[in-house]
Chain A
Amino acid sequence: MPHSAARIPVYRGAFGPHEAERLLWRAGFGPKRGQGRALARKGLDGAVKSLIAPGRGRMVGPKPRDDKGRPLAPRDAWGHDHLWWLDRMVRSNRPLVERMTLVWHDWFATSNEGVGSQTLMLRQNALFRHHWLGSFEHLLLAVTKDPAMLIWLSGTENTKWSPNENYGRELMELFTLGAGRGYTERDVREQARALTGFRNDWRRSVGPTNFRFDRERHDLGVKRIFGKRGKFDWRDSCRLCLHHRNHPSFFVQKLWSYFIPVAPPHGTQKALEQLYVSRDYAVRPVVEAILKHPLLYNGPRMVKPPIVFAAGLLRASGRGIDTESWTWLCANAGQQLFFPPNVAGWNDDRWLDTASYLARWDIAGRVTRPAVLDSGRDKAPFDADKLVERALRFWGNPSISPKTRRVLLSYTKRAMRTANQDWKRKSYPPLIENSLRHLIAVSPDLQTS
């Protein structure tokens, strides 16, 4: 193990179902029934290894379908792109692959609002999935010439005759260095020149097509970027950013923030930077170290992104994609896949407001709905403890804090006290169990991880 990795602290506390569940939420979309306990048995090293080096990909569970029971049409039907990916989050046996794909979607945030082609968005999505824990250099080069990105940030409008700064600016500000960290407006203009030359055609039946590099459009002259002079092209443009002294710190900080909500301690930050550079910009060792860091297990909680919340509830309840409603429900909650709010991606500090809280409530209700107990037909015990236990079982017995359990129990007792007649004592328990399933899903324990 290289020297730098040795200096990064590793979590040495108990690794039980609680810790395993947190790992599954941060590095995936939460546990399916029993997965928390199963992962805990592997211990921390085994658990992280199973995530970063999973076996062959498999989809487990019912196949996705639309409201009419038909297969999805992710390239064509509005919102089906969202459903198609949500289904992978719910069913894939390689959760970190999908989670890293989501990280890159947010990092290189491209919206179909500007691209206007689900086909190109899905192609970009495949690119992110392919590079999930690979080399950031390869990923950056691939994204730079990715058709969806070329449309989104005006790459194919960037010619030697009229340079367009859109991609060059975001390449530094959002993708590799951070705003104002070691580049000038002149660097932006010169980057734009280096990035000239991409073009595409337009065919009526297909839309934008035949994306390619055209030397005729590329500015062959000498550019001056970060104080270096050369006849730079788009590959140089990417590598200059990658080799910039401020890139490793940007990379580590940003990657870390997807998994742990407080900044890494200085020593850890430095060691992760060294690890990243010494391994030729490989993502895997950095993610591995983050997933084993003590702060992931004993640090503060994170609000689950809406898509993680929704996918997690579906996984926990064993339900597949059987309605198109997930697209608008997740959009209401602030996260429609393939439509990040802007090129800076989603703002993870701001998932919750009164409107998105209601949307998350609706998501929870939508998950519980097909299985609701009928007050006339179904029976449930007139016993507060048992009702809470039964409702927790619906979600695969997630760990719940004693405080939350107390609130649920006192609610249950209050609801039971309203049953002041015989018929109510019979018909209310199923209602209470329904309500408890819903409340558990919106509790702090399940909305954060």
Chain B
Amino acid sequence: MARCCNEFSRSSLMHTAVAEAASGLPAIEPGMPLPAGTGLDRRSFVLRSAGLALAVYGAGALKLPLFEEGVLEAASAAPSQPVLVSLFLDGGADSLSLLAPVGDPEYRRLRPKLALPDSGLAFTEDPRLRWHPSAGSLRTLHLEGKLTVVPTVGYTDADQSHFTSRHYWEVGATNAGLRTGWLGRYLDKAGRNDNPLQGLSLDGELSPSIATRKAPVAALRGADQYSFWAPGVWGDVEREMMNTIGPLGRARGYGDRALASLANTATQASRLRTQLSVFTNRGNGSNRFGSPVPYPEHRSAFPQRLAGLAAMLAAGLPLRCVALRAYGMYDTHSEQPEALAAGLKLTSETLLAFQRDLEARGLADRVLTLVWSEFGRRGEENGSLGTDHGAAGVALLMGSRARGQMIGELPNLKTAFDRNGNLKATVDFRSVYSSLLEQWFDFDAAAVIPRARSYRRLQLVR
């Protein structure tokens, strides 16, 4: 607890409950047809998930229950559907270190101890700026035109509470009472009522960004972390047992909230188990997902979460919005140099590996990754080799179809700060969201983001 503030530990704990962001795990609409009793077995899943094999065998031959045909449809539409990955830098990442204004004399005055040396990693769009020495992978992506940088993103009168500001970003509005995520509202409107994979949290708990009102969404600890194991059961019996998860969960119907919640969760869990069954039992090897490129080897689960994500997309799973936390602790009140370098290094290297993986698998045109943090940090360093909470921060957009040109700017440091010494935003985060909804999902932003029309549109996608 030494490095980060108490409130941060409190807010980082908030995710487990996802607490205030969503009103409840999405229910499947009552009256919706439910599968008569069986999920798909592994074989039929493999058929279904691999588009080619399906064409060979044909969907009709599988005699799937009506309900599963819905999932099938979602899966067969998947190869053309755009996917957005929301990657959260937890704690308020220091944008003035990620892209250090080493060419601005004011920088050294504000950061006498923390100012980074000239890393030599030039940022081609602004001669004052250098990439953090640990962020070389981001520079590679930027040079290839696959990384858009938004150096000062946020909102006016930024709230400096981790929890509140993060909540604003998650719900896509400066509204403490909103209980659905911005991506969750998109899924409620554009998603399906039978595909929990359309909104997927990869941290093992529901991310508030994808919290919906009714559309089913799922939480996992990674693509290969959803196997149901039963001691002393195998073979035919095991298969029949697993097919009973859904019907057993629904055995007592939806008569009260507890029973409905159990019935819905068991139904979604059973479906998810089937959808992910190709990824189970792959051991702990460094390449358990058959990744065509190497990912960083690290004790953290983060690199393999993205490796698994690429594999899920390659398997044709119907993913649309994915949310997870990046590796690292960005609430750097002290020991900033070490903590930030460690977080940026693994996160950047993993992002580059993910992009290369998608390129090798021919999926790179379908996936955009938005990297964000709840705020940036104070311009002036504090007395303990750290920085306190700030206002505007940095956002990145990675992908082959990201436009790759800087949005907004880092103004001259003499004028860049507000009266509290925090960076002023030159781009509103809701501009980013509205533009993404329209340009990436081809969806009306006004249906998702409150007062969307009042936010400037940015050219983010090519």
- A contacts, CB < 8 Å to B: 111, 113-114, 116, 154, 166, 261, 300-303, 332, 334, 339-344, 346-347, 349-358, 361-362, 365, 368-369, 372-375, 401, 403-404, 406-408, 411, 414-415, 418-419, 424, 428, 430-432, 434-435, 438-439, 442-445, 447-448
* Interface residues as binary, B155-181 with A (CB distance below 8 Å gives 1, 0 otherwise): 000000000000000000000000000
Q: Pick the contact of B251 from A339, A350, A365, A401 — CB < 8 Å?
A: A401
Q: How far apart are the CA atoms of A447 and B256 in the complex, in Å?
A: 14
Contact with A along B234-276 (1 / 0, CB 8 A): 1111111100110111011101111101111110110010000
* B51-59, B67-75, B224-232 - interface stretch: B224-232
Interface contact A431-B251, CB-CB below 8 Å: no
Q: Is the pair A353, B9 in contact by a Cβ cutoff of 8 Å? A: no
Contact B244–A411 (Cβ < 8 Å): yes
A442 to B219, CA, bound (A): 19
**In the complex, chain A residues whose CB is within 8 Å of the CB of B264:** 352
Within 8 Å CB of B25, what residues of A?
350, 352-353
* Cβ–Cβ < 8 Å partners of A375 in chain B: 232
The answer for the CA separation of A30 and B102 in the assembled complex, in Å, is: 64
Q: Are B258 and A303 touching (Cβ within 8 A)?
A: yes
Chain A nearest CB from B175 CB (Å) reads 16
Does B1 make an interface contact (CB < 8 A)? yes
B252 touches A445 (CB 8 A): yes
5 cross-chain pairs, A with B, having the tightest CB-CB distances, nearest first: A372-B232, A300-B256, A418-B236, A434-B232, A341-B17
In the complex, A352→B261 CA distance in Å? 7
Complex CA distance for A339 and B238, rounded to whole angstroms = 35
- Contacts A353-B219, A434-B231, A435-B230; A418 near B240 (Cβ below 8 A): yes
Q: Say yes or no: A448-B258 contact (C-beta < 8 A), given A114-B9, A369-B231, A435-B241.
A: yes
Is residue B35 within 8 Å, beta carbon to beta carbon, of the partner chain?
no
**Do A434 and B233 touch across chains, with their CB atoms under 8 A apart?**
yes
Q: Quick one: closest B residue to A153, CB to CB?
A: B6
B281 beta carbon closer than 8 Å to chain A: no
Chain A residue nearest to B221 in the complex (CB): A355
Given contacts A114-B1, A443-B248, contact A428 B263 (CB under 8 A): no
Closest to B244 in A: A411
Chain A residues with Cβ below 8 Å from B24 are 349-350
- Whole-angstrom distance between the Cβ of B166 and the nearest chain A Cβ: 13
Whether B241 contacts A368 by the Cβ 8 Å rule is no
Chain B minimum-CB-distance residue to A352: B265
A-B contact pairs, 22 of them (CB 8 A): A113-B1, A302-B258, A334-B205, A341-B15, A341-B19, A342-B13, A342-B14, A349-B24, A350-B24, A354-B272, A355-B219, A355-B221, A357-B269, A368-B231, A372-B231, A406-B251, A407-B248, A411-B241, A430-B232, A435-B237, A448-B258, A448-B262
Check if B437 is an interface residue, CB within 8 A of chain A: no
Closest to A331 in B: B16
Which residue of A has the minimal Cβ distance to B25?
A: A353
Q: Check if B261 sits within 8 Å of A424, measured CB to CB.
A: no
A443 touches B259 (CB 8 A): no
CA distance A448 to B220 in the complex (A): 23
Please name all residues of chain B whose beta carbon is closer than 8 Å to the beta carbon of A166 when the two chains form the complex: 6
Residue B98 is within 8 A (CB to CB) of chain A in the complex = no
Residues of A near B204 (CB, < 8 A) are 332, 355
**B352 CB-CB contact with A under 8 Å:** no
Those of B390-424 within 8 Å (CB) of chain A: none
Query: Is B253 within 8 A of A403, CB to CB?
Result: yes
Complex Cα spacing A336 to B235, Å = 34
Chain A residues within an 8 Å CB radius of B13:
111, 113, 339-342
Measured between C-beta atoms, what is the minimum distance from B230 to chain A in Å?
5
**Contact between A353 and B236, CB atoms less than 8 A apart:** no
Q: Which of A407, A418, A430 lies at the interface centre, i.e. has the most chain B CB atoms within 10 A of its CB? A: A407
Contact B262 A447 (CB under 8 A): yes
Report the bound CA distance from A334 to B219 in whole Å. Answer: 12
Output the least CB separation between B425 and chain A (Å).
Answer: 26
Number of interface residues of B (CB under 8 A): 60
User: A352 and B262: CB pair below 8 A?
Assistant: yes
Q: Binding site of B, secondary structure by majority: helix, strand, loop or mixed?
A: helix
- Bound together, the chains give a CA A104 to CA B159 distance in angstroms of 31
Question: With A361-B228, A407-B248 known to touch, is A448 a contact of B233 (CB < 8 Å)?
Answer: no
Chain B residue nearest in CB terms to A346: B17
A444 touching B249, Cβ below 8 Å: yes
Question: A407: which B residues are within 8 A, CB to CB?
Answer: 244, 247-248, 251
A residues near B269, Cβ cutoff 8 Å? 354, 357-358, 361
User: Assuming A114-B1, A355-B221, is B265 touching A444 (CB within 8 A)?
Assistant: no
Contact A303 B16 (CB under 8 A): no
Instruction: State the Cβ distance, B462 to closest chain A Cβ, in Å.
Output: 35
Give the Cβ gap from A151 to chain B, nearest Cβ, in Å.
Answer: 9
Of A342, A356, A358, the residue contacting B228 (CB under 8 A) is A358
In the complex, chain B residues whose CB is within 8 Å of the CB of A443: 248, 251
- Interface pair B218/A354, CB less than 8 Å apart: yes
CA of A365 to CA of B227 in the docked complex: distance in angstroms?
Answer: 13
Q: A350 and B18: CB pair below 8 A?
A: yes
Bound CA–CA A341/B12 (angstroms)? 8
Rounded to whole angstroms, the CA-CA distance of A300 and B257 in the bound complex is 8
A435 to B268, CA, bound (A): 20
Q: For A432, give its contact among B15, B17, B219, B237 (CB under 8 Å).
A: B237
B248 with A439: CB separation less than 8 A: yes
Residues of B with C-beta under 8 A to A418? 236-237, 239-240
The smallest C-beta distance from B20 to any residue of chain A, in angstroms, reads 8
**Contact assessment for B6 and A354 in the assembled complex, using a CB-CB cutoff below 8 Å:** no
Note all chain B residues with C-beta closer than 8 A to A424.
236
Do B252 and A401 have beta carbons less than 8 Å apart? Answer: yes
The reply to whether the CB of B93 lies closer than 8 angstroms to some CB of chain A is: no
Known pairs A430-B232, A438-B230. 19 more at Cβ < 8 A? A113-B1, A113-B9, A114-B9, A300-B256, A301-B256, A332-B204, A341-B14, A342-B13, A351-B261, A352-B264, A355-B201, A355-B219, A368-B231, A372-B232, A431-B233, A434-B232, A435-B230, A435-B233, A439-B241
Q: Does B379 contact A (CB under 8 A)?
A: no
B347-385 interface code vs A (CB 8 A; 1 in, 0 out): 000000000000000000000000000000000000000
Does the CB pair A403–B257 fall under 8 Å? no
Say yes or no: A261 contacts B265, CB within 8 Å: no
Q: Is the CB of A373 within 8 A of B219?
A: no
Given the interface pairs A301-B259, A444-B263, A448-B259, the reply to whether A365 lies near B248 with Cβ below 8 Å is no
Partner among A353, A356, A369, A408 whose Cβ is within 8 Å of the Cβ of B248:
A408
Contacts of B14 in A (CB 8 A): 341-342
- Which residues of A have CB within 8 Å of B151? none
Q: Please, which residue of chain A has its CB at the minimum distance from the CB of B163?
A: A342
Complex interface: chain A residues within 8 A of B303 (CB):
none
Report Cα–Cα, A419/B256, bound state, in Å.
Answer: 38
| Residue numbers in B under 8 Å from A431 (CB-CB) | 232-235, 237-238
Q: How far is the CB of A396 from chain B (nearest CB, A)?
A: 19
The minimal Cβ–Cβ distance linking B383 to chain A, given in whole angstroms, is: 16
B255-307 interface (Cβ within 8 A of A): 255-259, 261-266, 268-269, 272
Chain B residues near A351: list those with CB within 8 A: 261
From 1 to 59 in chain B, residues with beta carbon under 8 angstroms from any chain A beta carbon are 1, 6, 9-11, 13-19, 24-25
Contacts of A355 in B (CB 8 A): 201, 204-206, 218-221
Closest to B206 in A: A353
**Residues on the B chain within 8 Å of A435, using CB:** 230, 232-233, 237-238, 241
Known: A113-B13, A355-B219. A428 touches B230 (CB 8 A): no
- Distance between Cα atoms of A431 and B251 in the complex (Å): 22
Q: Inside 8 A of B92's CB, which chain A residues have their CB?
A: none
In the complex, what's the smallest C-beta–C-beta distance from B214 to chain A, in angstroms? Answer: 15
Residue of B nearest to A369 (CB): B231
Q: Contacts of A342 on B, CB cut-off 8 Å? A: 10-11, 13-14, 17, 19
Cα of A347 to Cα of B179 in the assembled complex, Å: 14
